[in-house]
Structure 1
Amino acid sequence: MWRELAPVGRHPDSGGYRRYAWSAADLECRAWFRAQAEARGLTYETDRNGNQWAWLGDPLAGDAVVTGSHLDSVPDGGAFDGPLGVVSSFAALDELRSRGVAFTRPLAVTNFGDEEGARFGLACVGSRLAAGQLTVADAHRLRDADGIALPAAMESAGYDPDTIGPDPERLARIGAFVELHVEQGRALDLTGDPVGIASAIWPHGRWRFDFRGEANHAGTTRLVDRRDPMLTYAETVLAARREAELTGALATFGKIAVEPNGVNAIPSLVRGWLDSRAADQATLDAVVTGIERAAREYAERAGIDLDVVRESFTPVVEFEHALRDELAKILEGSGDTGRPVPVLGTGAGHDAGILSASVPTAMLFVRNPTGISHSPAEHAAEDDCVAGVRALADVLEGLACS
């Protein structure tokens, strides 16, 4: 499975993946998912929001155990973020069948669409729509960098955008959702454990900063006469780093758009996107407030107009304690050492976090020896991936076969 999926959407120069929602690479990933489902005799379906499902047992029976993740990527992303969870889900099902277990609850593997938000700027679109956390009107307003609207992208890919919206009946049929994911950090590497359990997802959000100045000639305009928004943006980036260090949070300006974007032109507009995350809401509020305050001070001093817009936000997600404790008990009982499985928080958002408001959810993490993610250098050792599959199989057996 891994060898079949690995070439899809891989850029020949960067070695990273560009599997953007509703693109040709994304459609190829979707075709791969459907082929895996049909090869196992599973009931395949696509829901009203473009999320894919592969069912063992009756999809309408209720109290189903669901596992899976996503197949799309960030720009030049790594091979493991998302796909490891989907591949491991199919592999765990194969493992359970080899054990000859008897399923007492329906089981499904899923691929949630547009988790990364690389094309339309909003993460977890598929799961947000299903959970009613993204309105149909707001979804229709989403545009990519070329001005293509989400409904148009879906329609060009052969999906009906008129069906999108909340899917409470489907979510009501899920008794538990367990997502396996490569760890995006080094906590497991530091403890020496191949697999861990998630405790919570930090609150996080994305803010757009629009710095507006005055376009002018780079070769003739005196420095003292310039209203250059790039300087204010640069000062704000440095302020974000300082505020994050002071508060123990994370703050990153990772995307920028410039107008008119000429080498010999002073910009009229610099638009930067801030991603910020923290262990608690108060800390996140403090770091973002500090960054915006600094940006406005710099802008006022330089004669720059500034608008700040919060484009997305996810509050802290505490995974259901009862399900989390059940996973810990299952894995401790199935392990060779008998020692507790590490329980750790994460600053990365996931579909499991979105769904947690509607269904009981939990997450497993597989060790990432370098901690690198959202990069072609993202990696997990084969032995650890196998350990992840076995852990997921043990969890699914404990939940769906008891």
Structure 2
Amino acid sequence: MGANELLAELADIGRTGSGGYSRLSWDPATMQLREWFAGQAAAAGLELIEDGNGNQVAWWGSGPDALLLGSHLDSVPDGGPLDGPLGVVSALAALAQLRAEGWTPSRPIAVANFTDEEGARFGVACLGSRLATGAIDTAHALGLKDADGATLGDVMTARGRDPHAAGPAPWLRSIKYYVELHVEQGRFLAPFGAPVGVASAIWPHGRWRLDFCGQGNHAGATAMVDRYDPMLTYAATVLAARELALDSGQRATIGRVQVEPGSTNSIPSRVTAWLDARADSAPGLEALVAGLVERAEIAARDDGTTVEVRAESVTGAVDFDTNLRHRLATLLDAPVLPTGAGHDAGILAASLPTAMLFVRNPTGVSHAPQESAAAADIDAGVDALVRVVRDLG
């Protein structure tokens, strides 16, 4: 079965009214997707393991120096159909094609479904791969809370998993290479006329929590001059984020906000917002965030409010393995492009030679229902993976 057919099997899982997808870590949709992945592994004769972090890995063969493929099946709220799933289904389709051709690998081949890559539920991206590699403290990760106040440990327990088993994954020591295929995020490949590209690097990026505090009060009875409104400080910070990012050529987004008490006729007492910031260098990211914090603090003083900023996750620049990416770019005769998005490949790159392939996205839209790729380009991505596996495997 090809990647397009496999994607069609997932089309109704976690679908929202807008046509997008909400598949948050350990929710009913992702649990259904996990069952689907296990079924695909069984049908293909692959041996499935699940580590203590919830990552699923389907193995063709066993032993050291394995080649790992895959991606993730979770999404952001109301995300697109391809961010994550395309890499998983393409890997499964590539192995199915190779097995049908009677090809025999010289090393074990595995396909991973990493859990909670998006970080949409517990606030830390690539949580499954971070736990597996030891890039995040296990106790800290298990204590992360979702919007309802449930910790990751609580949620894993409710899903029949033992949180005490979480942490660095022994299976990862068997991996020699990791190659992740992903839908393109942005619109680099279309001008090149290329269906597939190879990633060069991932920009440094992170997430910061901003707590703006003021004085809750009555919207009608409180004169404008007597207000200490944190919403004003928040609004000034949003505008400053756009200004600073535009001036420096970087990226700054505040896409999530909570307001207390959240009443139409009340001045807020607290506004909590989350900043996503990305830059082409570590100093650029540091300067961007520092500049934004300075602007937020100035606005808070003017408004009689306060602001506290806390980093929730920060990932440095990732340069994918030079030899591996050059090998794959030459093999596929593909253009090389950087990415501003984070991926499990960016986490694993600190531990082993890692590469990424991108499949052309004609609109460049990602993390939204309009995310897309042509069926022929999806097939081209599978063909590229087949060639990669033949070369590395």
**TM-score, scaled relative to structure 1:** 0.95
Q: In the TM superposition, what is the alpha-carbon distance from 1:256 to its structure 2 partner?
A: 0.2
Q: Distance in 2 between matches of 1:328 and 1:100?
A: 26
Residue of structure 2 in register with 1:99 after alignment? 101
Q: Deviations over 1:299-330 (max 9, x none)?
A: 01111111010110000000011111111222
Q: In the TM superposition, what is the alpha-carbon distance from 1:116 to its structure 2 partner?
A: 0.5
Q: Distance in 2 between matches of 1:86 and 1:327?
A: 19
Report if the CA contact (8 A) 1:171-1:359 is conserved. no
Report if the CA contact (8 A) 1:171-1:358 is conserved. no
Residue of structure 2 in register with 1:116 after alignment? 118
1:286 partner letter = A
1:45 partner letter = I
**Helix, strand or coil at the partner of 2:57:** strand
1:154 partner letter = M
Superposed counterparts of 1:212-231, under 5 Å: 212-231=213-232
Residue of structure 2 in register with 1:364 after alignment? 357
2:144 partner letter = L
Q: Distance in 2 between matches of 1:174 and 1:329?
A: 23
Residue 130 of structure 2 is aligned to residue 164 of structure 1: no
Residue of structure 1 in register with 2:344 after alignment? 351
**Helix, strand or coil at the partner of 1:176:** strand
Q: Structure 1 segments of 4 or more deviating over 6 A?
A: none
**Helix, strand or coil at the partner of 1:220:** coil
Q: Distance in 1 between matches of 2:312 and 2:37?
A: 31
Q: Percent identity?
A: 56
- Across the two proteins, how many residue pairs are aligned to each other? 388
Q: Distance in 2 between matches of 1:136 and 1:85?
A: 27
Q: In the TM superposition, what is the alpha-carbon distance from 1:74 to its structure 2 partner?
A: 0.2
2:93 partner letter = A
Q: Distance in 2 between matches of 1:238 and 1:144?
A: 27
**Helix, strand or coil at the partner of 1:28:** helix
Correspondence for 1:132 among 127, 130, 134: 134
Residue of structure 2 in register with 1:198 after alignment? 199
Report if the CA contact (8 A) 1:172-1:359 is conserved. no
Q: Deviations over 1:82-115 (max 9, x none)?
A: 0000000001111212333221000001100010
Superposed counterparts of 1:323-334, under 5 Å: 323-332=324-333
Unpaired stretches in structure 2, ≥5 consecutive residues: 1-5
Correspondence for 1:62 among 27, 42, 64: 64
**Helix, strand or coil at the partner of 1:119:** coil
**Helix, strand or coil at the partner of 1:232:** helix
Superposed counterparts of 1:1-400, under 5 Å: 1-11=6-16, 13-58=17-62, 61-167=63-169, 169-332=170-333, 341-400=334-393
Unpaired stretches in structure 1, ≥5 consecutive residues: 333-340
Q: What is the Cα-based RMSD across aligned positions, in Å? A: 0.8
Q: Deviations over 1:166-200 (max 9, x none)?
A: 12x32221010000000110001122110000000
**TM-score, scaled relative to structure 2:** 0.97
Q: Deviations over 1:187-244 (max 9, x none)?
A: 0112211000000000000111111000000111110000011011101100000100
